[in-house]
Amino acid sequence: MSTDIIEKPVQQRIREIEAVMRDMPQQEIPVEHIFGLGFYARTITIPADTVLVGEEHATEHIFFVSKGEITLVTDGEPMRVSAGFQAICKPGMKRVGYAHTEVVCTNIHITTETNLDALRAQLIVAPSLPAPEKAKEIEL
């Protein structure tokens, strides 16, 4: 095994994994968008046995898992988490994950924007895997 990859920062390795995954068959991941007074919540449901790479976000936000078990790698060792896990995500952070079971996770962003294209431009730093086309929008 090349020591090249071992010496690279984790975020760079995650981007390399993402580049390889772009050429693989893609799993549909349902998305739900909820808008409230001053916030936007994006919830995804990840099928069991799915590997995915998260988008690189431009802003600090809250991330939580409300169902299932997933192993996440961000900047250190893999961390297996389950429903009830929550974290603050810093700008520029990317994650790779493996869903052991069906997983439901949510990102909550502070914003008044409600247009999905404008939100994507505001919240996402770099293109990632294509976003799922099917989305359910809810305004509260």
Domain ranges for the chain, please list them.
Answer: 4-139
Q: Is the pLDDT of residue 6 over 50?
A: no
Q: Is the pLDDT of residue 1 over 60?
A: no
| Residue for token pair 């690189």 | 56
Q: Is the pLDDT of residue 7 over 70?
A: no
Give tens-digit pLDDT for 111-130.
999 999 999 999 988 654 34
In this predicted structure, what is the pLDDT of residue 126? 61
Q: Is the pLDDT of residue 108 over 90?
A: yes
Evaluate whether the domain defined by 4-139 bears CATH number 3.40.1390.30.
no
Mean pLDDT of 102-107: 98
Q: Is the pLDDT of residue 98 over 70?
A: yes
